Amino acid sequence: MTAIAVLGSTNMDLVAYVARAPGRGETVTGREFRTVPGGKGANQALAAARAGGEVVMIGAVGTDEYGSRLRTTLEHAGIDTDLLHTVAGPSGTAHVVVDDEGSNAIVVVPGANGTVTALGPGEHAAIAAAGLLLLQLELPLRVVTEAARAARSLGVRTILTPSPVQPLPAELLDAVDLLIPNEHEAAALSGYDDPHAAAQILLRQVPEVVITLGGKGCLYAARGGETVPFPAPEVTAVDTTGAGDTFVGTLAVALGEGRAVPEALAWASSAAALCVQRPGASSSMPYRSEIGAA
CB nearer to ligand ATP: pick between 150 and 209: 209
Residues involved in catalysis:
245
Q: Which is nearer to ligand ATP, 115 or 282 (CB)?
A: 282
13 is known to lie in a ligand binding site = yes
113 binds ligand ATP (CB under 6 A): no
Question: Is residue 138 part of an annotated ligand binding site?
Answer: yes
44 forms part of the interface with ligand ATP (CB under 6 A): no
Write down the least CB distance from residue 243 to ligand ATP, Å.
4
Nearest to ligand ATP by Cβ — which residue? 244
Query: What's the chain's Rg over C-alpha atoms?
Result: 18
**104 labeled part of a ligand binding site:** no
E strand or H helix at 254, and its extent? helix 243-256
276 DSSP 8-state letter? H
Compute the distance between CA of residue 287 and CA of residue 294 in angstroms, rounded to an integer: 15
| 39 makes contact with ligand ATP (CB under 6 A) | no
139 in Cβ contact with 59 (< 8 Å) = yes
Nearer to ligand ATP, 115 or 182 (CB): 182
Residue 244 binds ligand ATP, judged by CB under 6 A: yes
Distance of CA 56 to the CA centre of its chain: 14
Nearer to ligand ATP, 206 or 273 (CB): 273
- Cα gap 206→175, rounded to integer Å: 8
Residues 251-280 that bind ligand ATP (CB under 6 A): 269, 272-273, 276
237 is an interface residue for ligand ATP by CB under 6 A: yes
Residue 252, CA distances (Å) to 70, 256, 258 in order? 22, 6, 10
250 binds ligand ATP (CB under 6 A): no
202-231: contacts with ligand ATP (CB under 6 A): 212-215, 217-218
Q: Which is nearer to ligand ATP, 115 or 269 (CB)?
A: 269
Contacts 24+ apart (CB under 8 A), 173-179: 173/205, 173/206, 174/205, 175/145, 175/148, 175/149, 175/151, 176/135, 176/148, 176/205, 176/206, 177/206, 177/207, 177/208, 178/206, 178/207, 178/208, 178/209, 178/210, 179/205, 179/206, 179/208, 179/209, 179/210
Q: Which parts of this chain interact with ligand ATP (CB under 6 A)? A: 182, 212-215, 217-218, 232-233, 235, 237, 240-245, 247, 269, 272-273, 276
Residues in the annotated binding site for K(+): 239, 241, 275, 278, 280, 284
